[in-house]
């Protein structure tokens, strides 16, 4: 049995009349090599049927140039927007973006284990997932650089916002605009992922309202599943009921948008009869003119990615806990 030795990068280099370095570059960083050279290298590759050996490649590369993002099954626009931020940073950094979606903690657990062990990511970004200590230990032990978004942790870098402050800002804003009958609309807690910023937003709102002498009664706090239809149904109920609030702070833009629509359907003038305020500043907020508390989602993704890259480039950089500022974006709804 005569084994034909596989073609290597050397064969390609010889055939194309260049050095192996150039061949390697053509494959990994093509913009660094001249158009013509590139063409002729490709031709050689093509003619010899060259396929790089994964094992040798992995060996030579200290890095993989891959960043993973773990996110809850990404159906919520807020995840998408953060992801977009991550992608925009990674795009011009020559890192690949690998996405892992998890539906439950179990799967999350599995990802953490296998990813940390087989060292084939250079860094990890975890979006909006509860993160317990055992995960952190594992990651540290295996040296997988990680940045958490929306869930702080002692020993890992994180990017967060102050949800409570956001609630307070909304309270201040609405009261200052002269509204008297304030309410809150949020979604119900999903226990699965154990993270629930909504609770904090409500707490801040409520607390501040109390300070301003307009305590928020429990009958003014509505909760509903994170679902358009359900939210609209509830909205209709609230808005056509006897004691209609004149301003509602919604825990997320999605709910605010649903409410806005109901209000319009009912012929209410916004913000005259009803002020609606959201939280997040999703793209859609701009489309419909929703006044909202902006948490700059794109930016949070961007910053998380930048943080990660800087730590990867230099392991000595300290762990950081970045608190992103919130601001009120005034549009037409409140």
Partner DNA sequence: CCCTACAATGAAAGAGCTTTCATTGAAGCG
Partner DNA sequence: CGCTTCAATGAAAGCTCTTTCATTGTAGGG
Residues that bind DNA (CB under 7 A): 5-6, 8-10, 17-25, 27-29, 31-38, 52-57, 59-63, 65
Taking the alpha carbons at both ends of the chain, their separation in whole angstroms is 81
Is 84 or 214 the residue whose CB approaches a second copy more closely? 84
Contacts with 105 (C-beta within 8 Å, 6 or more apart), sequence order: 130, 192, 193, 194
Q: Counting contacts by CB under 8 A, is residue 198 touching a second copy? A: no
CB count within 10 Å of CB 322 equals 17
Confirm or reject binding of residue 225 to a second copy (CB under 8 A). Answer: no
Backbone angles phi, psi at 178, to 5 degrees: 90, 10
Cis peptide bond N-terminal to 99, omega within 30: no
Give the nearest distance from C-beta 254 to a second copy in angstroms: 8
Q: Which residues have C-beta within 8 Å of that of residue 223, sequence separation ≥ 6? A: 185, 186, 187, 188
For residue 207, what are the CA distances in angstroms to 169, 173, 210?
11, 14, 5
Residues 89-118 that bind a second copy (CB under 8 A): 91, 96-101, 103, 110, 113-114, 117-118
Asked if 27 interacts with a second copy (CB under 8 A), we say: yes
Using an 8 Å Cβ cutoff, are 115 and 121 in contact?
yes
Site string for a second copy, 259-288 (x = CB under 8 A): --x--xx-----------------xx-xxx
- CB nearer to a second copy: pick between 19 and 88: 88
Q: How far is the CB of 58 from DNA (least distance, A)?
A: 8
Which letter does DSSP use for residue 31 in this model? G
Which residues of this protein are in contact with a second copy, per CB under 8 A? Answer: 2-6, 27-28, 30-31, 42, 45-46, 50-62, 64, 66, 73-75, 77, 80, 84, 87-88, 91, 96-101, 103, 110, 113-114, 117-120, 140-143, 228, 254, 257-258, 261, 264-265, 283-284, 286-289, 315, 332
């Amino acid at each position: 049995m005569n084994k034909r030795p596989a073609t290597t990068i050397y064969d390609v280099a010889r055939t194309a009349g260049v050095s192996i370095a150039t061949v390697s570059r053509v494959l990994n960083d093509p913009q660094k090599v001249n158009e013509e050279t590139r063409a002729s290298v490709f031709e050689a590759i093509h003619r010899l049927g060259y396929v790089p050996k994964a094992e040798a490649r992995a060996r030579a590369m200290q890095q993989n140039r891959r960043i993973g993002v773990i996110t809850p099954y990404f159906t919520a626009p807020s995840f998408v927007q953060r992801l977009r931020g991550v992608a925009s940073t990674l795009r011009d950094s020559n890192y690949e973006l690998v996405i892992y979606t998890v539906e439950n903690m179990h799967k999350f657990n599995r990802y953490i284990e296998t990813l940390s062990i087989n060292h084939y990511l250079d860094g990890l970004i975890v979006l909006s997932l509860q993160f317990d200590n055992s995960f952190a230990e594992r990651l540290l032990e295996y040296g997988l650089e990680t940045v958490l978004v929306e869930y702080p942790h002692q020993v890992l870098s994180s990017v967060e916002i102050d949800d409570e402050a956001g609630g307070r800002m909304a309270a201040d804003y609405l009261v200052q605009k002269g509204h008297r009958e304030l309410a809150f609309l949020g979604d119900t807690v999903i226990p699965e992922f154990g993270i629930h910023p909504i609770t904090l937003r409500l707490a801040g709102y409520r607390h501040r309202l109390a300070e301003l002498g307009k305590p928020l009664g429990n009958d003014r706090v509505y909760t509903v599943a994170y679902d358009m239809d359900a939210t609209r149904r509830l909205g209709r109920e609230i808005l056509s009921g006897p004691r209609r609030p004149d301003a509602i702070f919604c825990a997320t833009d999605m709910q605010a948008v649903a409410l806005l629509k109901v209000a319009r359907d009912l012929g209410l003038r916004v913000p005259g009869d009803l002020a609606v305020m959201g939280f997040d500043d999703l793209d859609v907020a701009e489309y419909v003119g929703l006044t909202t508390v902006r948490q700059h989602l794109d930016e949070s993704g961007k910053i998380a990615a930048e943080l990660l890259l800087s730590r990867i480039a230099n392991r000595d950089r300290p762990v950081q806990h970045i608190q992103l500022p919130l601001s009120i974006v005034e549009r037409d709804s409140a």
